Amino acid sequence: MRKPVIAGNWKLFKTNKEAADLITRLIPEVKSNRNVDIVVAPVFTALTSVKQAIAASNIMLAGQDCFWEEEGAFTGEVSPKLLLDAGCSHVIIGHSERRQYFGETDETVNKKMKAALKAGLTVLFCIGETLAQREAEKTFEVLNRQVTGGLSGITKEQLKNIIIAYEPVWAIGTGKTATDEQAQEAHAFIRSLVTGLYNQTAGNKIRILYGGSVKPENIKGLMTQPDIDGALVGGASLKAESFSAIVNFG
């Protein structure tokens, strides 16, 4: 059995005070839920205050990105070690917004993943095709490239600390969710890629989340699909009411 993961990606939203407000509202709503791994990813500057608030709760903390070097003359970057220091257990790597606006490639994603894994973080490894790629029937080709490139040189042992998030770019923040069937088809394909790269057990075990306009209204349908193991939630994670409804989908 794969334990579901519901992760909230707060993106570039929330001051320390707003983050603290959100998390304090969220904690009581999800505290009795032991069936789901719950993760939130605030901006770097709010990590410490959110960590304090979730200390005795069942919520885990993620960074939204990290650099591959541990330290050095790299102005503006944050290392996996510093994320651990701030209380993170997880880190999002390769989000489509990073790929789109900040020049992330499969190669940089791979370097970041290796560094994060080496430091002991669990990685939320994001992949997904754009609308143009889907319309050109390149979805599988793109997913194959992203999965193969991202996981290059990563061992079977390290894979245990990777969670894949399939996020079709055309569904992110657009209100346009992939249908349950479209998502399931992509997830099954991604699982088969992992099986091919590693083995059957690795393919069976890896958790694959869906992301892209996940809301309380569509989480149930998505979660009934055999290869969907949770969600990476953007917009709907910014309110305790909608995020807790997604966490408590069952």
- Catalytic annotation, residues: 95, 167
Among 172, 208, 222, 228, binds ligand PGA (CB under 6 A): 172
The DSSP symbol for 206 reads -
Q: Kindly tell me which of 36 and 202 has the beta carbon lying closer to ligand PGA.
A: 36
Could you tell me where the beta strands, DSSP code E, fall in 66-114?
Answer: 90-93
Tell me if 6 contacts ligand PGA by CB under 6 A.
Answer: no
Minimum CB separation of residue 238 from ligand PGA in Å reads 9
Contact window for ligand PGA (CB under 6 A) among 53-61, 147-155, 190-198, 207-215: 207-215
Q: Kindly tell me which of 30 and 202 has the beta carbon lying closer to ligand PGA.
A: 30
Tell me if 162 contacts ligand PGA by CB under 6 A.
Answer: no
**HSE-CB for 236 with a 13 A CA cutoff:** 25
3-state secondary structure of 152: coil
Vertex 211: Cα angle to 127 and 179 (nearest 5): 105
Long-range contacts for 187-193 (Cβ within 8 Å, ≥24 apart)? 187/225, 187/227, 187/228, 188/226, 188/227, 189/140, 189/143, 190/127, 190/143, 190/147, 190/164, 190/166, 190/227, 191/227, 193/143, 193/144, 193/147, 193/148
Q: Kindly tell me which of 65 and 202 has the beta carbon lying closer to ligand PGA.
A: 65
Tell me if 167 contacts ligand PGA by CB under 6 A.
Answer: yes
Minimum CB separation of residue 164 from ligand PGA in Å reads 13
Among 5, 46, 228, 233, binds ligand PGA (CB under 6 A): 233
Q: Kindly tell me which of 78 and 172 has the beta carbon lying closer to ligand PGA.
A: 172
Binding site for ligand PGA (CB under 6 A): 9, 167, 172-173, 211-214, 232-236
